[in-house]
Amino acid sequence: MITLGFACLILAFALAIFAAIAALIGTRGDRRFVDSSRRAVYAFAALLTICVIVIEAAFARTDLSLQVVADHSSTTTPAFYRFTAMWSSQEGSLLLWAWVLSLTSSAVLFATRNKHRELAPWATAVLMGLGAFFTGLMLFDANPFARLSPVPPEGVGLEPLLRHPAMAIHPPMLYTGYVFFAIPFAFAIAALITRRLDASWIRSTRRFALIAWLCLGVGILLGARWSYSELGWGGYWGWDPVENASLMPWLVGTAFLHSIMVQERRGMLRVWNVTLVCATFSLALLGTFLVRSGILQSIHAFGESTVGGPLLALIGLVVIGSTLLIVSRLPDLKSEKRIESLVSREAIFLVNNLLLVGLAAVIFWGTFFPLISELFTGNKASLAAPWFDRYTTPLAILLVLFTGIGPLFAWRRVSLGAARRLLAWPALAAVVVTALLILLTDADTHPLALVMFALASFALAALVQEFAKGASAYRSLKGGSYPRALAGLFARNRRRYGGYVVHAGIAILLIAVAASSSFQTSRDLRLSPGQSATVDHYRIKYVKPTAEISAPEQRLTFGAVLKVSKDGGPYATLYPSRNYYSGVGGGTPVTGGPGGGPIRSFFEGEATSEVGRKTTVSGDVWTSMIPDLGPLNPLINKSDRKLEKIGRGVSAKNVQAQQALGALQGLAVRNIERQYLRNPPPATFRVNVNPLVTWIWVGGAIAVIGGLVAIWPAPEARRRRVSDVYAARLARELGRA
Amino acid sequence: MEIILALLIVAAVVWFVSVPLRRTKEEEDAATRKVEDPRVARLEAAKEAKYREIRDAELDREQGKLSQADWSRQDAELRRDAIQILKELDEARADAESRAAPHG
């Protein structure tokens, strides 16, 4: 089936080129070429689907004749992770990018098949230009169907850090987010070329932009969750370049989603909107580039890359091309109207937009500072988390304030009296919350966190007021109970009220971020079994060591049982552990890897942490451990010497002898495990008390639900009914006009 | 076997993609008529946006964000705009229909 897959990839590349050319011919008005190019896009999607199926089937049966499988999986990789191993490779992730692009392009072209006579062909050409780029990249630089000869007896296996359920969904979500932004970008370019710069391109692509934003947001959350539970450093966000690369398009995309509302309603911010969508897509490409190029040091840089250069060229083309296009269309992009008052929703949206873009700019500078400093000084100096915190925290605080004010104001203008009335209750709620926090907690020791709590309370109170006023108004018109009125509100305007739910989720998330980062207690403890120490209000006792061998995963785990007590009473039992994998990094289980002999290779390669965590609504007690392997070194060295001596006399072709060697290695590992349990060495435990951290995930989940509500289309019948009501009223006036 | 399957896929793709290129004149005209006129599409989008503005203004008045006087002024202006759009839409539709009608 590999030949078939490769043939489909070649055909997909040819089709993408054909679709782009046919679409360009179709821009002259020949519908035959437009329709043919659209069909070519559908076929492109079908062919890439076959490619994905062929690659996944190869991973499922561990076909080691395929290089991508041999490099990223093995016969011992668990079945679930074999399925997800595709996108841990460069070739597989490029295939995923192209595949998602083909599906989304097909969806948008199907949805607009009888619309946008002028825009659709140009948009198709842009989308298939991207399709040709990514399939071409696979064909000429990173072929997922490349074969290996001779076929190795065993694969390298999946990177241990990626063996986490969140990692199964995190990369596809991020890529889906990145790729979906290609749709509004392509239609924006089409609108610029054809000078059709009204809001109709926004209307057709808004839902795609929302899906992109949502998927990217879910991807970022899953990444944070993975970092928190797998990386063992104790945090969920480390301002790592690849994390930043996903946050930047999300921030600019958020600005875009808000500012298109202003264009749709008021015909303003046209230059700003096309600039934002081009910037968002450029940043999405930059995110792919940062993951794949390895240009910046990152915990996410898995493996060498050869596609950095072409990706950088594409980013350059997108940035320069779209900038020139926007500049050449400035007269056509002139707004129809001006902002009438600073006390209006559009004015607040504009301020929020500037803050979001400002945040993205700060993160961009911090992320690329190592390259900038290298350019000017020759030294690659990195900016650490405190630098990012110093500049992003004030911007985030202001963002929360304006997120609270925005929904309160009407479009066009609000009288100052009405503004005072609308702001009074949320402001009072913020004052009360601040006073209570100062009186009852030590929140005033961290002024910036206190301001964040106050303003997030203001934003939440404003949203509660919005829902209450909306439900009251609905009841006064239609009667019924409050819950029914609330449901009616959502049904009447999903975008608005779904958006408010997103705001509520983000406000909760930011409260949790402020609390868990400002009031975290963190200590590193070196304990032997039986010893204990106190962290915050918790007494931590190292009760006993644990050890486990997983033969299928070639994994040795050293762990600990920790008893946690609070105020003298039992609170929790935690089981942090450290996983070590055999032969990771290019070696085999028997001969070991570059890091050392067959047993040493377990401890010299990549190790992962399983954290021990007690989660409650008020926060987490979080622990990770690193055992001191020093006392085990003599036994490890002795075992390696013996195994290597025996291994030297055994031919690699002698399967039986190799199996016997493998069994001997298993016995040696079992011996190390017993030694660890018999004479447990001390271990270093990181113990973090993270207040309110659970609310990060709760806030994130609420925001996702709100996003889904906003995306979900209103039934056609309801939309028609609403339109018909206004049409009927206006028709009567039209009769009088 | 794989080569044959690949050739079959190539043939199927070529057939599928070339269907519009093999259309007769009548089929081509019918396909063109199905596509929304750009001016109509633009005005439809403007109409929906204007309806949404009217609805938002009503909602803002109901929630006390707009005074009765402000709302009356805004609503009258929005309705004037909407009526203008509806008139233009009628004209655009008539133009599109006359262009799409088979000649001769």
Contacts of A31 in chain B (CB under 8 A): 20, 28, 31-32, 35
Per-domain boundaries in chain B: 37-104
CB A597 within 8 A of CB A643: yes
pLDDT digits (tens, 9 = 90+) for A683-712: 999 999 999 999 999 999 999 999 999 998
CA distances from A720 to A464, A725, A726, B58 (A): 30, 9, 10, 18
In a domain? residue A139: yes
Tokens describing residue A108: 């948008």
Average pLDDT of the residues of chain B: 85
Render A369-391 in DSSP notation, one character per residue. Answer: HHHHHHHHHS--PPP-HHHHHHH
How far is it, in rounded angstroms, from Cα A280 to Cα A255? 9
What's residue A622's pLDDT?
A: 95
Helix (H) or strand (E) holding A551: none
Alpha helices per DSSP H over A547-654: 600-604, 633-648
Contacts of A410 in chain B (CB under 8 A): 56-57, 60, 65-66
Contacts of A732 in chain B (CB under 8 A): none
CA distances from A679 to A544, A549, A682 (A): 11, 18, 10
How far is it, in rounded angstroms, from Cα B23 to Cα B37? 21
Could you tell me the mean pLDDT of each successive run of 10 residues in chain A, 737 residues long? 92 97 92 94 97 94 90 83 85 92 95 86 96 94 89 79 78 91 95 89 90 95 88 83 92 95 86 95 90 62 68 94 95 83 91 96 92 80 87 95 92 87 94 95 92 96 93 84 88 89 96 93 94 93 93 85 93 94 53 61 82 93 93 87 79 73 84 90 94 95 96 70 64 56
Are A199 and B66 an interchain contact pair (Cβ–Cβ within 8 Å)? Answer: no
Which of B59, B65, B68 is best to mutate for the A interface (most A CBs within 10 A)?
Answer: B65
Considering only CB atoms, B13 lies closest to which of A11, A413, A469, namely A11
pTM, rounded to two decimals: 0.89
Smallest Cα distance from A409 to chain B, Å: 6
Contacts of A733 in chain B (CB under 8 A): 79, 83
Considering only CB atoms, A200 lies closest to which of B3, B5, B41, namely B41
In a domain? residue A107: yes
Chain Cα centroid distance, residue A463: 27
Smallest Cα distance from A715 to chain B, Å: 15
Contacts of B14 in chain A (CB under 8 A): none
Are A264 and B9 an interchain contact pair (Cβ–Cβ within 8 Å)? Answer: no
> Is pLDDT above 60 for B63?
yes
Of the residues A121, A141, A157, which one is the last residue of a structural domain? Answer: A157
CA distances from A522 to A331, A443, B78 (A): 57, 18, 58
Contacts of B5 in chain A (CB under 8 A): 4
What's residue A278's pLDDT?
A: 96
What dihedral angle (degrees, nearest 10) is formed by the CA atoms of A634, A638, A640, A646?
180
Task: Write out the residue range of the structural domain in which residue A653 sits.
Answer: 521-694
Smallest Cα distance from B104 to chain A, Å: 22
What's residue A555's pLDDT?
A: 84
CB A402 within 8 A of CB A346: no
Residue owning tokens 């290996």: A148
CA distances from A272 to A123, A354, A526 (A): 20, 10, 55
In a domain? residue A321: no
Closest CA to A37 of A113, A135, A116, A104: A113
What's residue B30's pLDDT?
A: 79
What's residue A594's pLDDT?
A: 46
Instruction: Return the residue of A nearest to B25 by Cα.
Output: A32
What dihedral angle (degrees, nearest 10) is formed by the CA atoms of A699, A702, A704, A707?
-120
CA-based radius of gyration for chain B: 24
Closest CA to A2 of A44, A73, A53, A76: A53
DSSP β-bridge partners for residue A570: A565
Are A730 and B66 an interchain contact pair (Cβ–Cβ within 8 Å)? Answer: no
Residue owning tokens 């400093």: A373
CB-defined contacts A:B, below 8 A: 146
What's residue A590's pLDDT?
A: 46
Are A114 and B36 an interchain contact pair (Cβ–Cβ within 8 Å)? Answer: yes
CATH number at residue A8: 1.20.120
Are A473 and B46 an interchain contact pair (Cβ–Cβ within 8 Å)? Answer: no
Are A4 and B23 an interchain contact pair (Cβ–Cβ within 8 Å)? Answer: no
Are A730 and B86 an interchain contact pair (Cβ–Cβ within 8 Å)? Answer: yes
Tokens describing residue A668: 């040696």
Closest CA to A106 of A208, A203, A178, A201: A208
Q: How many independent structural domains does chain A possess?
A: 2
Using the Cβ of B30 and the Cβ atoms of chain A, whether some distance falls under 8 Å is answered with no
What's residue A729's pLDDT?
A: 64
Are B38 and A116 an interchain contact pair (Cβ–Cβ within 8 Å)? Answer: yes
Which of A1, A2, A4 is best to mutate for the B interface (most B CBs within 10 A)?
Answer: A4
- What ipTM was predicted for this assembly? 0.85
Closest CA to A65 of A136, A134, A6, A9: A6
Between CA B29 and CA B37, with CA B31 as vertex, the angle to 5 degrees is: 90
CB A123 within 8 A of CB A187: yes
Smallest Cα distance from A200 to chain B, Å: 6
How far is it, in rounded angstroms, from Cα A305 to Cα A300? 13
What's residue A585's pLDDT?
A: 41
DSSP 8-state class, residue B21: G
How far is it, in rounded angstroms, from Cα A294 to Cα A198? 40
Of the residues A126, A157, A188, which one is the last residue of a structural domain? Answer: A157
How far is it, in rounded angstroms, from Cα A102 to Cα A258? 27
- Give the residue with greater pLDDT, B26 vs A432: A432
Smallest Cα distance from A702 to chain B, Å: 25
Q: Which residues of A3-24 are buried (b: 16+ CB within 10 A; e: fewer)?
A: ebbbbbbbbbbbbbbbbbbbbb
What's residue A719's pLDDT?
A: 60
Closest CA to A101 of A281, A294, A305: A281
Considering only CB atoms, B16 lies closest to which of A43, A115, A412, namely A43
